[in-house]
């Protein structure tokens, strides 16, 4: 099943949500043109490699610049393939506009980046020995989903039942609750697995979601309230 859209209308143009989608696609298009060796170097330098920060002596030996924390931001704008970027930005498209509606553009951008950084920190803490670069906007987008969970719990998410011409509506609180349980299951059972899914930053997803739940009240604009009646459509 794939989320298609939500039922909550926007009152303001989501300029930052649209801009983030464009910027992410532009960066991805640039990386697609790079030779493999250049791409690997870029991912290791600007992706989030946990051991770079937990083992500084090793990081210095392999040539990482000391004291560079930029990857906590730059890694958010890198993606590893078409499926990766399309799935991430589709979720940003569904949930980002409404959260931006409640925060305003600048606060929303700050919130997005804050959740992405905190997601990265939890990923580093959970995988201190990893020398694999982590990339993607998943942690930041999970933060948006965490905010949406509290701001629009009874909104309806329209789900497309894959391979069937069937669309169903489910409450956002149910859809996002199931999403969290999947992330928690994968994080706690996949740590020692050889399956490729074990390389996904599941703890980063959870960290972003938790950050979004806890921090979103600090970023809300007091004069922007959602219409409770619209959440039930």
Q: How confident is the model at residue 190 (pLDDT cuts 50, 70, 90)?
A: low
Q: Is 112 exposed, middle or buried (0-12, 13-18, 19+ CB in 10 A)?
A: buried
For 126-172, what is the HEC assignment? HCCCCCCCECCCHHHHHHHHHHHHHHCCCCEEEEEECCCCEEEEEEH
Q: Tell me, what CATH number does 89's domain have?
A: 1.20.1540.10
Range of the domain at 30: 2-232
Model pLDDT for residues 58-98, shown as the tens digit of each residue:
999 999 998 899 999 999 999 989 999 999 999 999 999 99
CA distance 211 to 111: 9
The CA distance from 201 to 127, in Å, is 9
Domains held by the chain: number? 1
Checking if the pLDDT of 133 tops 80, the result is: yes
pLDDT higher than 90, residue 226:
no
Predicted TM-score (pTM) of the model is 0.91
Cβ neighbourhood burial of 46 (10 Å; 0-12, 13-18, 19+)? buried
DSSP code of residue 219: G
pLDDT at residue 221 in the model: 93
Say whether pLDDT at 198 is over 50: no
């Amino acid at each position: 099943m794939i989320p298609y859209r939500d039922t909550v209308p926007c009152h303001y143009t989501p300029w930052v949500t649209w801009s983030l989608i464009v910027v992410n696609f532009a960066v991805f298009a640039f990386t697609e043109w790079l030779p493999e060796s250049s791409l690997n170097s870029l991912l290791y330098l600007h992706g989030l490699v946990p051991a770079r920060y937990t083992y500084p002596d090793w990081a210095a030996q392999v040539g990482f610049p000391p004291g560079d924390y930029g990857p906590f931001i730059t890694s958010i704008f890198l993606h590893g393939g078409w499926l990766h970027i399309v799935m991430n930005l589709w979720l940003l498209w569904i949930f980002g506009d409404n959260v931006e509606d409640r925060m305003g553009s600048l606060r929303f951008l700050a919130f997005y980046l804050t959740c992405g950084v905190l997601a990265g920190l939890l990923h580093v803490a959970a995988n201190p020995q990893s020398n694999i670069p982590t990339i993607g906007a998943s942690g930041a987008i999970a933060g948006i989903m965490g905010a949406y969970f509290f701001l629009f719990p009874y909104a309806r998410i329209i789900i497309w039942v894959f391979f069937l011409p069937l669309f169903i509506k489910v409450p956002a609180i149910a859809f996002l609750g199931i999403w969290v349980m999947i992330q928690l299951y994968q994080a706690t059972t996949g740590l020692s697995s050889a399956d490729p899914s074990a390389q996904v930053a599941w703890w980063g997803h959870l960290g972003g979601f938790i950050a979004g739940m806890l921090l979103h009240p600090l970023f809300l604009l007091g004069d922007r309230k959602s219409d409770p009646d619209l959440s039930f459509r």
